[in-house]
Chains A and B, each alone.
Chain A
Amino acid sequence: MKQLTKNSLRDRLNLAFFLFPTMLFVIIFIAFPVIFSGYLSLTEFNYASDPAPQFIGLKGYIDMVKSDIFFHTALYNQMRFAVAYFLIAFAVSLVLAIFVNELQRGVQVFQVIFYMPMIVPMSLVGITFAWILSPDLGIFNHMLRLLGLGHITHDWYGEPSTALNSLVLARTWKMIGFTLIIFLAGLQGISKSLKESARVDGANFFQEIVFIVLPNLKPYMLIGGIWILINSLKVFVLPQVITQGGPGSATLTLYLYSWKLAFERLEMGEASQVAYLTAFIILFFTWILNLIFKPETAQKG
């Protein structure tokens, strides 16, 4: 490749020419919407009846955070969902990755099995789980009755106490494949001699995991953790498809609330405020994760 240090005009034009379509795409479909919705978040604007956005500065954000009961509910639900999903998805994918890594044979088969839910559209996952957990016709309640556990059958999506956790279950099933692959890659990168040395020194399997595997897996746990975290805060399709934010507002999430504001109430200013507040929350928790797993480990990952 010709060195650009020669500042050849022709090379620069070639570069610009081939970058142009991608840059155009980024500007039109990413940069412009982000900047424009940032502007909208500082306005009051009903898309159907207001001729133009009316600038109100940070008042919208302040009112949203102070007195919008649905925002408070969505934030609370989102945090509950995020904590439950993060812990379960992280633990399950880590345990499964360790299990798969210990197998002598069939590692790739299990990789495929656990990754396959990732290719199923989220909306299909929602519809399928709605049927599985249906109170009358669902196979889950049917199996509970067959096992003599009919007393714990529930309307899993219809009762506020179980609706959000049922969404966590569906999402975990679909999404753990990706973090499992990340963790598995990390596990397979750990030198076998380290584990063998530990065994020679008398370490049992549990000690091996805690003192050898997990410390060496930190960079991958950071990446996997960030991915799970971001996914735990971007919850829209499942509540939209299965519960529409109900029962009551038990499964109203921040993304779903933003959508409702934009497409049901046509309040574009408020919808943008919720979207930006969600983005700030994601950034905040990403920063916390970075502190926990220490920045220098991200480079190793």
Chain B
Amino acid sequence: MKRFLTVLVVLCVATALFAGGRQEAEPQEGEQEVRTLRVAAPPWIYKKFDLENYAKEFDAAHPEVKLELIRADKWGGPTYITEWKQGTTPFDVFVGGSGSMLAPLIAGGWTEPMDSMFTGDMAKDEFVGGFLSAGHYKKPEGGGTYYPCIPFVGEVSIIGVNTSIMKDAGLWAGGGPKPIPGWEPEEFRNWFGALNDASDLGAHVQIWDREFMQYNYCGPIKAMTGTFMEEDGKGFDVTSDAAKRWLTYLQEMHDEGVATYTTTDDQGYQKWKTNATGSFYAAQGHIMELVSVTENESDIAYLGWPDADKNGSIIWTHSVWIPKVAKNKDLAKAFIREVVFSKEMQQWSFNNYGKLPVMKDYYGEGITWFQDQMPTILSVADASSPIPLFTDLQEYLDILFKYLPEAAFGRMSVDKALQNIQDESEGLDFSDLRAQ
């Protein structure tokens, strides 16, 4: 009897473990069929877009839809692909994902084309040009281009300056910061030298982790020349005079104590938020974090590198996308249009966290801060472009990360660093997933 009961218990436990799945209740006769829409997003999207609150409005407007919000604590590219290969998906729409995160999914053709979304308020010319270009890709199977995702939030790499320090340094005129006059050595050094004299913790901060390294390197070169790419398109510019000049400036600024380069983004933000550093080259939204310390938006102003208003800088975006195997694509698209691209949600995010809306119309009425800085930010963003998504981008970034910081930190000569990058990246596949 005891043995029989033991066997019974083991069988019950095994059945519970392996049976799995819960059955959704079948709709009763006469009841409207309720469809479930599963929306996934990383925690920071929930926080910085108040997604849960704005999603409630969609819920209320669509009683035939049961909305399920999912927190994707970790990006699970391989996990998602495994389910997609079986024809199932853990979500119907995903709000978030930068270019490099999405690249493998797009290369494998796992996301739903979104070209049909660009109508009405979401027509292409309603977007800030640079941001929309980040969602434009070549078709994996060839024969044209398409939009496998839609950027919904943008960031631009730009210089933030501490206005008090700028005034102390004599770099303030006509109610705004005096721009860096140009790229010639003397005018460049003089500007940063004056700022350094007025800054307790140095004139300039940059974050040199693996992510920001590429923006720090490419953004100023693009401002200088209009492009950050090699002429043959095989990688970033490591051979031109502009490349050597910029890396030399970075090294000199570090060696002379004018600039601090941190190895983590957290250290960079901490440095900037001491309110004792003259300038910070980083994502526009991160620069705004100083206001959380000083509680005064006029403590920050924005500048581009010389000629960035004409030639642009680097932008990057996060996008919203639908897995190709999702069943409720029509609901997902309705959610994207009504919630993700709603003026209210996008302006709320900017007014609270500085996340740049991607629609031109959202920069006017409704924006509650930094309105005087918007022309500078938008002029740089509109001329900017995203980092290409090379097939071997991750390997290329590893090579860049091996040498560029070494040169910037003064541990390797500029020529040697650039030559090493050239040598070690030969043979990589620089086919760009992005459309031009």
Binding site for B on A (CB under 8 A): 17, 21, 46-49, 69-70, 73, 130, 134-137, 155, 157-160, 243-249, 260, 262-266
List of 9 A-B pairs having minimum Cβ-Cβ separation, nearest first: A48-B104, A48-B108, A158-B263, A49-B108, A248-B402, A265-B394, A49-B107, A249-B402, A264-B394
In the complex, are the beta carbons of B270 and A263 less than 8 A apart?
Answer: no
B217 contacts chain A at the CB level, 8 A cutoff: no
A-B contact pairs, 19 of them (CB 8 A): A46-B104, A47-B78, A48-B77, A48-B104, A48-B107, A49-B104, A49-B108, A69-B399, A69-B424, A70-B395, A135-B267, A155-B263, A246-B210, A246-B263, A247-B405, A248-B401, A249-B402, A260-B398, A266-B81
Least CB distance, B344 to chain A, in whole angstroms: 35
Complex-state Cα separation, A159 to B271, whole angstroms: 18
Say yes or no: A49 contacts B140, CB within 8 Å. yes
A-side contacts of B403, CB under 8 Å: 248
B209 at the interface (CB under 8 A from A): yes
Q: Which residues of B contact A46 (CB under 8 A)?
A: 104
**B2-59 interface with A by 8 A CB criterion:** 7, 10, 14
**Are B394's CB and A244's CB within 8 A?**
no
Q: B117 at the A/B interface (Cβ < 8 Å)?
A: no
Contacts of B409 in A (CB 8 A): 159, 247
Contacts of B264 in A (CB 8 A): 130
Count residues on chain B whose CB falls below 8 Å from chain A CBs: 33
Closest residue of chain A to B427, judged by CB?
A67
Of the candidates A73, A243, A248, which one forms a contact with B406 in the assembled complex, judged by CB atoms under 8 Å apart? A248
Which of A137, A248, A263, A265 lies in contact with B405, CB distance below 8 A? Answer: A248
Please indicate the chain A residues that have their CB under 8 angstroms from the CB of B10 in the complex.
Answer: 17, 21
What is the interface of chain A mostly: helix, strand, loop, or mixed? loop
**A-contacting residues of B (Cβ < 8 Å)?**
7, 10, 14, 77-78, 81, 104-105, 107-110, 140, 209-210, 262-264, 267, 270-271, 394-395, 398-399, 401-403, 405-406, 409, 411, 424
CB of A139 to closest CB in B, whole Å: 15
Q: Contact check, B81 vs A47: say whether CB atoms are below 8 A apart.
A: yes
With A48-B105, A48-B110, A264-B394 as given contacts, are A157 and B78 in contact (CB-CB < 8 Å)? no
CA distance A246 to B398 in the complex (A): 9
Please measure, in the bound complex, the distance between the C-alpha atom of A224 and the C-alpha atom of B264, giving whole angstroms: 36
For B395, give its contact among A21, A73, A160, A265 (CB under 8 Å). Answer: A265
CB B20 to nearest CB in A, in angstroms, measures 15
Query: Given known contacts A48-B110, A160-B411, is B210 in contact with A244 (CB within 8 Å)?
Result: yes
- Whether B267 pairs with A48 at a CB distance below 8 angstroms is no
- Chain B residues near A137: list those with CB within 8 A: 270
Q: Known interface pairs A48-B77, A246-B210, A247-B263. Does A266 touch B424 (Cβ–Cβ under 8 Å)?
A: no
CB distance from B283 to the nearest CB of A (A): 18
Please report the C-alpha to C-alpha distance between residue A48 and residue B140 in the assembled complex, in whole angstroms. 12
Whether A136 contacts B78 by the Cβ 8 Å rule is no
Whether A266 contacts B411 in the complex (CB less than 8 A), given A155-B263, A246-B401, A249-B402, comes out as no
Q: A49-B108, A158-B262 are in contact. Are A266 and B267 (CB under 8 A)?
A: no
In angstroms, Cα B403 to Cα A218, docked, is 45
Whether the pair B405, A266 counts as a contact (CB closer than 8 A) is no
Residues of B close to A158: CB separation below 8 A: 262-263
- Complex CA–CA separation, A130 to B262 (angstroms): 13
Q: Could you tell me the distance between the alpha carbons of A22 and B110 in the complex, rounded to whole angstroms?
A: 37
CB distance from B141 to the nearest CB of A (A): 11
B270 x A136 contact (CB < 8 A): yes
The CA of A159 and the CA of B409, in the complex, are separated in Å by 9
Contacts of A245 in B (CB 8 A): 398
Q: How far is the CA of A226 from the CA of B399 in the complex (A)?
A: 34
- Which of chain A's residues have a CB closer than 8 A to the CB of B108? 48-49
